[in-house]
């Protein structure tokens, strides 16, 4: 009986979580008149042409944001892997103190860093550049990634690395041939978490990007207010259906990400929690 109640509660919560998604899709297939006339009605007949507006207006910002995510995540993984391995497997002066600083910096809210980061970006001439955005995303993503990777590497048997060193492998070879294959679930988890953060970020791109042709998808959606071409003499008003179709269209990369990466994401979270 207790198990049935638990599963029933989970099913109800699952259905409730799908209501916003259902409403977003329903609104994206209607126009403003249909939405205001009966908000809860089904989209019939569906206005598939709403997505043509989103396809034309938002494809380039989506591709631009994916490019930003890829270069940022690659940078995060490269530097965090090397740093995490150094903290976990190498002995050097000040290692414990530096790792304590990494953990301490994780407690600093990101909003407090906006002003100093903006001043630094202006000083280094990194404004109005996707690569400039990536530099700060790489730096901001280091702390948590280093913490996860160093904790994971510390949990691995030292004998594997010692055997490789006895065979003449360098530390870089140990990282490439042993550490990275073992940490693949953790790296995928880090990649997914940072992709979500960067893809949905709005505040930092608004501060750093002022050129319209460099807008990320979040910036494009914030300013996305097309209309369906109202008749002459009527007040021009943004079409809610087209706007909602833009949000639905922008969610497709995230949907693909979770569809193909969820198994590795859960595996990475589980391995990190168990071995930490």
Task: Tell me what the mean pLDDT of segment 143-156 comes to.
Answer: 88
Q: Largest alpha-carbon pair distance within the chain? A: 83
Q: How far apart are the first and last CA of the chain?
A: 36
pLDDT tens track for 206-254? 999 988 888 999 999 988 877 755 444 445 677 788 888 899 999 989 8
Q: For residue 267, what pLDDT is reported? A: 66
Q: For residue 275, what pLDDT is reported? A: 45
CA atoms in the 13 A half-sphere facing the CB of 30: 20
- Exposure string over 214-225, b if 16+ CB within 10 A, otherwise e: bbbbbbbbeebe
One-character DSSP codes across 162-226: HHHHHTT--HHHHIIIIIHHHTHHHHHHHHHHHHHHHHH--HHHHHH---GGG--HHHHHHT---
Beta-carbon contacts of 95 under 8 Å, excluding residues fewer than 6 positions away, are 86, 87
Q: Which of 125, 274, 120, 127 is nearest to 186 (CA)?
A: 274
Tell me: pLDDT of 122 over 80. yes
Using an 8 Å Cβ cutoff, are 103 and 147 in contact?
yes
Using an 8 Å Cβ cutoff, are 242 and 29 in contact?
no
pLDDT tens track for 74-114? 999 999 999 999 998 888 888 889 989 988 888 888 888 88
User: How far is CA 54 from its chain centroid?
Assistant: 21
Using an 8 Å Cβ cutoff, are 268 and 186 in contact?
yes
Tell me: pLDDT of 179 over 50. yes
Q: For residue 236, what pLDDT is reported? A: 61
Q: Enter the pTM of the model.
A: 0.84
Tell me: pLDDT of 184 over 50. yes
**In the numeric block, which tokens belong to residue 97?**
């103190």
Mean pLDDT, the chain, rounded, equals 84
Percentage of the chain lying above the pLDDT 90 cut: 24
One-character DSSP codes across 43-66: -SS--TTHHHHHHHHHHHHHHHHH
147 three-state secondary structure: helix
Q: For residue 228, what pLDDT is reported? A: 58
33 three-state secondary structure: helix
User: How far is CA 180 from its chain centroid?
Assistant: 21
Could you tell me the pLDDT band of residue 65, with boundaries at 50, 70 and 90? very high
Tell me: pLDDT of 15 over 60. yes
Q: For residue 79, what pLDDT is reported? A: 93
């Amino acid at each position: 009986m207790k198990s049935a109640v638990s599963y029933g509660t989970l099913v109800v919560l699952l259905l409730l979580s799908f209501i916003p998604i259902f409403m977003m899709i329903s609104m994206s297939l209607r126009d403003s008149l249909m939405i205001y006339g009966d908000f809860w009605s089904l989209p019939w007949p569906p206005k598939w042409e709403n997505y043509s507006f989103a396809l034309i207006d938002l494809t380039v910002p989506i591709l631009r944001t994916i490019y930003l995510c890829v270069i940022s995540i690659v940078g995060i993984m490269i530097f965090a892997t090397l740093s995490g391995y150094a903290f976990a497997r190498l002995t050097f002066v000040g290692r414990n103190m530096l790792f304590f600083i990494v953990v301490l910096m994780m407690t600093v809210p990101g909003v407090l860093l906006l002003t100093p980061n903006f001043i630094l970006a202006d000083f280094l001439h990194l404004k109005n550049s996707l690569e400039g955005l990536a530099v700060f995303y790489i730096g901001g993503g280091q702390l948590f990634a280093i913490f996860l990777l160093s904790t994971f590497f510390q949990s691995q048997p030292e004998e594997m690395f010692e055997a490789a060193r006895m065979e003449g492998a360098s530390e870089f070879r140990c990282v490439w041939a042993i550490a990275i294959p073992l940490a693949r679930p953790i790296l995928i988890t880090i990649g997914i978490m940072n992709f979500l953060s960067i893809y949905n970020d709005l505040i930092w791109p608004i501060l750093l990007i002022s050129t319209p042709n460099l807008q990320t998808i979040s910036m494009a959606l914030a300013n996305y207010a097309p209309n369906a071409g109202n008749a002459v003499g009527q007040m021009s008003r943004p079409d809610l259906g087209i706007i909602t179709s833009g949000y639905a269209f922008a969610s497709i990369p995230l949907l693909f990400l979770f569809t193909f990466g969820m198994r590795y994401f859960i595996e990475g979270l589980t391995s990190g929690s168990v071995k930490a």
